[in-house]
A and B are shown apart, each in its own frame.
Chain A
Amino acid sequence: MLAMTGVCALVAVSVLFLILGYLVYHGGASINWNFFTKLPTPVGEIGGGMANAIVGSGKLLLLATLIGVPIGFFGAIYLAEFSGGTVAFIVRYAADLLNGVPSIVIGIFAFILVVHPFKQFSTFAGGFALGLMMIPVTLRSTEEFLRAVPRALREAAMALGASKWKTIVSVIVPAAYRGILTAILLAFARVAGETAPLLFTALGNRFWSPGWNQPTAALPEMIYRYAISPYDDWNRQAWAAGLVLLGLILIINIVARAILSRGIAVPRT
Chain B
Amino acid sequence: MKRLSGMLLVVLAVAGILWADGVLSITGAGATFPYPMYSKWFDEYHKKNGNLEINYQSIGSGGGIRQVTEGTVDFGATDGPMNDDQLKAYQDKHGFGILHFPTVLGADVPTYNIPGVDAELSFTQEAISGIFLGRITKWNDPAITGSNKGVSLPANDIVVVHRSEGSGTTYIWTDYLSKISEEWKTKVGKGASVNWPVGLGGKGNEGVTGTVKNTPNSIGYVELIYAIQNKMPYGRVKNSSGAFVKADLASVTAAAAGAAKEMPDDFRVSITDAPGKTAYPISSFTWLLVPAKFSDAKKRDAIKGFVKWMLADGQNYAEALSYAKLPKEVVAKELKAIDQIQ
Tell me which residues across on chain B come within 8 A of A231, comparing CB atoms. 206, 229-230
Taking the complex as formed, is B297 at the interface, i.e. its CB lies under 8 A from any CB of chain A? no
- Contact size range, A: 20 to 34
Q: Which of A186-232 contact B (CB under 8 A)?
A: 203-212, 214-215, 225, 228-231
Distance, CA A266 to CA B230, complexed state (A): 60
Instruction: Tell me what chain B mostly uses at the interface: helix, strand, loop, or mixed.
Output: helix
Closest to B212 in A: A230
Tell me which residues across on chain A come within 8 A of B73, comparing CB atoms. 121
Tell me which residues across on chain B come within 8 A of A207, comparing CB atoms. 25, 46, 53, 55
Minimum Cβ distance to chain A for residue B17 (Å)? 8
Tell me which residues across on chain B come within 8 A of A59, comparing CB atoms. 15
Q: Which of these, B12, B203, B229, contacts A66 with CB under 8 Å?
A: B12
Minimum Cβ distance to chain B for residue A40 (Å)? 8
Taking the complex as formed, is A4 at the interface, i.e. its CB lies under 8 A from any CB of chain B? no
Q: Which of these, A41, A62, A210, A229, contacts B20 with CB under 8 Å?
A: A210
Structural contact, A116 and B16, CB atoms closer than 8 A:
no
Tell me which residues across on chain B come within 8 A of A229, comparing CB atoms. 204, 206-207, 209-210
Structural contact, A210 and B19, CB atoms closer than 8 A:
yes
Distance, CA A104 to CA B272, complexed state (A): 38
Taking the complex as formed, is A42 at the interface, i.e. its CB lies under 8 A from any CB of chain B? yes
Tell me which residues across on chain B come within 8 A of A225, comparing CB atoms. 206
Taking the complex as formed, is B29 at the interface, i.e. its CB lies under 8 A from any CB of chain A? yes
Taking the complex as formed, is A43 at the interface, i.e. its CB lies under 8 A from any CB of chain B? yes
Tell me which residues across on chain A come within 8 A of B210, comparing CB atoms. 228-230
Structural contact, A42 and B39, CB atoms closer than 8 A:
yes
Q: Which of B197-218 contact A (CB under 8 A)?
A: 202-204, 206-207, 209-210, 213
Given the known inter-chain contacts A115-B72, A230-B209, A231-B230, please indicate yes or no for A208 contacting B19, CB distance below 8 A: yes
Taking the complex as formed, is A119 at the interface, i.e. its CB lies under 8 A from any CB of chain B? yes
Taking the complex as formed, is B132 at the interface, i.e. its CB lies under 8 A from any CB of chain A? no
Structural contact, A121 and B27, CB atoms closer than 8 A:
yes
Q: Which of B68-92 contact A (CB under 8 A)?
A: 70-73
Distance, CA A208 to CA B202, complexed state (A): 28
Taking the complex as formed, is A161 at the interface, i.e. its CB lies under 8 A from any CB of chain B? no
Distance, CA A248 to CA B176, complexed state (A): 49
> What string of 1s and 0s marks CB contacts (under 8 Å) between A22-59 and chain B?
00000000000000000001111000000000000001
Distance, CA A225 to CA B56, complexed state (A): 14
Minimum Cβ distance to chain A for residue B28 (Å)? 10
Q: Which of these, A41, A44, A210, contacts B225 with CB under 8 Å?
A: A44
Task: List chain B positions with a Cβ less than 8 A from chain A.
Answer: 8, 12, 15-16, 19-21, 23, 25, 27, 29, 35-36, 39-40, 42-43, 46, 53, 55-57, 70-73, 202-204, 206-207, 209-210, 213, 225-226, 229-230, 232, 321
Task: List chain A positions with a Cβ less than 8 A from chain B.
Answer: 41-44, 59, 62, 66, 115-116, 119-121, 203-212, 214-215, 225, 228-231
